[in-house]
Amino acid sequence: MQTYSAKTTKTLNEPLIEFNNATVTFGSLVALKDISFTIDKNDFIYIIGPNGAGKSTLVKLLAGLVKPTSGSVVRRDSRCGYLPQMLSQKLNFPITVNEVIYSGFPKQKLIIPKEVKKKINLWLKQMKIENLGKKMMSNLSGGQQQRVLLIRALITNPDLLILDEPTSALDPEFRDFFYDFISNIHNQGTTILFVTHDLHKPLADNVKILDIDQEIKFYGCLKDFHQRGETDV
């Protein structure tokens, strides 16, 4: 039976998100098979697995961009910010940095309101790109574009932040800043899902590991993951 993603009101002690035997197929290709796990408020979860394992499909399920072919994904009353892979972005169309960030709001006007512009400018300054608001996205470097898209994901103060290999286009200096920034966001109560190939710098205490290869291979704490001998990502 096919059951689509649903959004319900969260009650006490219920998980923020619940996967129930979620399967995703594209024609004859099985991207994800019988995925079942829960995400609790303020979790920090690293999603790992080989290329082609279905990691990006999983985060698109979380973001509501893909529907399960069977099973269900229940997301309980939460705002979601999503930073996709840079390689999946086509940013050569004529749009400014400010316009990209403003598109992160669910309701938009033809002209960006003054109070929103102030908020955008504060975020640009925090991300050390305060002079780029009126620039075209196509004229920015990959790392600058990544910062803009991160602001877009955070501009509405989401409860859940999904990061799909977010450091791939960042220079080493800003990468360290980014890691500290995401750690602080998590400490303020945001639930983080972080697709990565690098587990050498855990960004939070008691992080969880979700290891997938179409199916779930492991889901649990980092210590238990390493005790299984799964140290290579």
Per-residue pLDDT at 4: 44
Q: Report the half-sphere exposure of 214 (CA within 13 A, side-chain side).
A: 7
Which domains are seen in the chain, by residue range?
A: 6-90+158-227 (3.40.50.300)
Per-residue pLDDT at 7: 52
Structure tokens at 119: 């908020």
Q: What angle do CA 41, 42, 48 make, to 5 degrees?
A: 105
Q: What angle do CA 112, 107, 183 make, to 5 degrees?
A: 85
Grouping H, G, I as helix, E, B as strand and the rest as coil, residue 195 is strand
Per-residue pLDDT at 42: 93
| Residue with token string 């099973």 | 71
What are the per-10-residue average pLDDT scores of the chain (233 residues)? 47 82 96 96 94 92 92 87 72 83 83 90 94 92 89 92 86 84 92 85 82 95 80 48
Per-residue pLDDT at 68: 96
